[in-house]
Amino acid sequence: MAPDTSLAFNRANGNAVEVGDLDAGFDDVRVSLAVTHGQLTVTPLAGPAGTVPTVTGNGTATVELVGRADHIDYILRSLVYAPSSGYTGADALTVLIDDLGHNGFDGAKTASAVVDLLVG
């Protein structure tokens, strides 16, 4: 990607970030997104507290979403990465999901993935 431009992660661009947890059901999961040399933004869902995922750190290098996996997945359709002003080089988007131990066996489970990014 060119310096000082943004990158949208979505199905239309063929780079959608999607999460899921088969046994979470309607229980909350936590998704953490992080980059080193830029900012991440999402468009939160509107609605009363407790019915939509919470979004913290929006517009920073680390964004955390807590809520139902299907709602978080919907929010991630709006994920945008913007490199720090003037930055060129490698970066990486790290995605971590934690089921918070609500369902399944043997307590909380996590999974992670890394998307390599090249600016410049």
7-119: CATH architecture: Sandwich (2.60)
Angstrom distance (rounded) from CA 90 to CA 112: 19
Does 104 score more than 80 pLDDT?
A: no
Domain positions in the chain: 7-119
Residue 20's pLDDT is 85
Q: What is the pLDDT of residues 29-68, one digit of tens each?
A: 999 999 999 999 999 999 988 889 999 999 999 999 999 9
Residue 111's pLDDT is 92
Three-state secondary structure call for residue 87: coil
What's the mean pLDDT when you consider all of the chain? 93
The Cα angle at residue 30 between residues 13 and 67, in degrees rounded to 5: 85
CA dihedral of 67, 73, 77, 78, whole degrees rounded to 10: 10
Angstrom distance (rounded) from CA 117 to CA 81: 10
Q: What percent of the chain has pLDDT over 70?
A: 100
Under DSSP, the state recorded for 18 is -
